[in-house]
Structure formats: structure tokens, C-alpha cells
Structure 1
Amino acid sequence: MTQPHVAAYMHFGGFDSFERLDFDRREIRKGFNKVGRLVQKEARKLTGKAKRTANDGYPARKTGRLNKSIKPKVSKSGFMVRIMPDKSADMKEYYPAYLHYGVRNGAQRTRGHRRQTDRGRGWRIEPRKNFMEDALQKSNDRIVAILQDAFARSLNQ
């Protein structure tokens, strides 16, 4: 099953004349690590409530597995961070995908992994809102400030 993902791209003006080697990577890694923890905290906040209203759309917490599986990982180069729920050992299937796409009653998985047709039985698990994308959007202003500060500190070294 494919994993839902959100891609974001940011470009900071004013740093175009520098090469990659001109940066102190430790400072940049620290900045991306901080951003990863910020988005992780926001995503866990969105999925951490035990009871949800029907119109909220985010997954509710029952066991806490989804919350614990949301982890940031900074790339080796230090210029990218990936925050997503990973499949842990206590998950039989990668159920964040089921929460994102939903599951129909009596549905058969198609070869192309498309959304299944209804067949009149309704949803077994309704698709939930994308909590990772919303966490990223809510934290956007702070992310830009943190990364600009990290890039500025990396040039001062």
C-alpha cells in the first residue's frame, strides 16, 4: 500500500551566490531537526485527542500507536527533513494509509490501488483529514523563521 505523503519546497532569497560547501552543515541540520520536531509536535496534537467530533475529520487516539509512530528524520546531507508516521513493529499493516484513503465495506483491493467503488455498503473506515499536511501548514511561519535563522547562523561560522 502506498504511503500518503506531503512534499514542501522552500526557497530562501539572498543565499543564491553561495555554494553548498560555504554552509556549516551542523547548524543547518540543527535547524531542520528543530523544524521536524515542531511539525511532529503539531501532528501529534492533531491526532492526540481521545474523542473526536464527527466534523473534525482527524483520527482519534485509541492506542497511541499512530502518535508514537510520527517521527522526523533529517537526511544525511542535512538539507531535508522527512516527518511521517512509520510502520512500527506492533502494527500488522500500515494503517495510516487506511486512515488517509478510507476502507469500504466488502471492497476488494484493485491492482492499481485506486479508491474502491461503493457497492452500496458504505464506509467501514471513512477517509480522515490529512493531519500531516495540516500540521505543516499550521507551522509554516515558524518553519520559515527557524530555517532562515539556521541558514544565517551557518554563514556566520
Structure 2
Amino acid sequence: MANSASIESYLHFEGYDSLPRDIFDKKKIRAGMRKAGRLVMQRAQMNLALARGAEGYPVNRTGATLESVSFRVSKSGFLVRVAPKKTSAMKEYYPAYLFYGVKRGARLSRLKAGEKHTGKRRREGIRLREARRNNDWLIAPRDNYMADALQDSNSEVQAILSEAFAAALS
């Protein structure tokens, strides 16, 4: 399961590192980055829609997760970020809950003013602590469909970017 924020969701393009950024036509670089970002975004949406909860991906019930996947080119134009974003349809940013998971058995809150210790509260605390000790998941971590989309379209993205960088030099 690709369940860590690691280097696997990052693509470094070799070959143009030694050249200063000033010599490139930024319009062409940004156009290439937009094209690459759109490709990875569409691949991530397709992975999510076609998996239907299989392969460790989250289930797509309302389409809010699909609609939340978008891309953004940086101000300089030399970076594109593809990620799910919080939309107005979401109450919480739940792609984070899907990626990291949620442990069963939350911590007990403090007693409110005037509240007494009761046997029921004690049993509840024992149950919650036991669930935490057993590493029970309320929501199990899901696979990273964004990293998989980048990995699947790696060669196509490199071809798009090499073409854009070559065109931006001339």
C-alpha cells in the first residue's frame, strides 16, 4: 500500500537542471505543465472511478472526491501540483481521513463542570482504551490513487515535459 507521503508521488525531470530559468519561454513551460497536470488529474479520477472501492482505493459514492481532484501550476511555471482539494460539497476535508485512516476508540474527553465519575463513563474509557490497544481502525487507510496515477503516466508526462522544455529553449 502506498500509504506514506514520500518521494513516490514526486517526479523530477532531468536534463535541464544546469540551465538558468531565465532562458526558457515561460508561456511554453506553463502550457506543458498544464498539459501534464491535466493528464495526471484525469488518470487519478479514472483510477478512483473505475476501482469502485477495489484495489484499496476509496469508494466513490457522491462524486465529491472525484470533483475535488485538481491541478495547479506554480507562479514560476516550473512546478505543477495535482491533489484533491476541499470543495464546498465537503463538510470536512475527508481525503486526508481516507489517506491516513482513523483509529477506533478516541480519547476520553475531560469531565465537564459539575459532571461526576460514573461506572458507565469508566466502562466507556476501558472500552476505548482497549480498542486503541488492539489497533482497530474505524476507517482503514486507503491506497494513494494520486501517486499511482503519476506512476502510471510517468513516461507520458516525461515526454510532454521534454517537448515543452525543448520548445521553450528555441
Q: TM-score, normalised by structure 2?
A: 0.76
Q: Do 1:29 and 1:79's aligned partners in 2 also have CA atoms closer than 8 Å? A: yes
Identity %: 46
Q: Do 1:49 and 1:60's aligned partners in 2 also have CA atoms closer than 8 Å? A: no
Classify 1:96/1:16 alpha carbon distance in 2 versus 1 (closer, same or farther; 3 Å): closer
1:2-151 superposed matches below 5 A: 7-13=9-15, 15-16=16-17, 18-49=19-50, 51-53=52-54, 56-108=55-107, 118-120=132-134, 122-151=136-165
Classify 1:108/1:46 alpha carbon distance in 2 versus 1 (closer, same or farther; 3 Å): farther
**Ranges in structure 2 where 5+ consecutive residues have no aligned partner:** 109-130
Whose Rg is larger?
2
Letter in 2 for 1:12: E
Classify 1:118/1:25 alpha carbon distance in 2 versus 1 (closer, same or farther; 3 Å): same
Q: Partners in 2 of 1:29 and 1:70 — Cα distance? A: 19
Q: Which runs of 4+ in 1 moved over 6 A?
A: none
Higher RCO structure, 1 or 2 (CA under 8 Å, sep 6+): 2
Q: State the SS of the aligned residue for 1:73.
A: strand
- CA offset digits 1:105-135 (Å, max 9, x no partner): 22249xxxxxxx7344832211100111111
Deviation at 1:102, TM superposition (A): 0.9
**Ranges in structure 1 where 5+ consecutive residues have no aligned partner:** 110-116
In the other structure, the counterpart of 2:128 is none
Q: Do 1:50 and 1:62's aligned partners in 2 also have CA atoms closer than 8 Å? A: no
CA RMSD, 1 decimal: 2.2
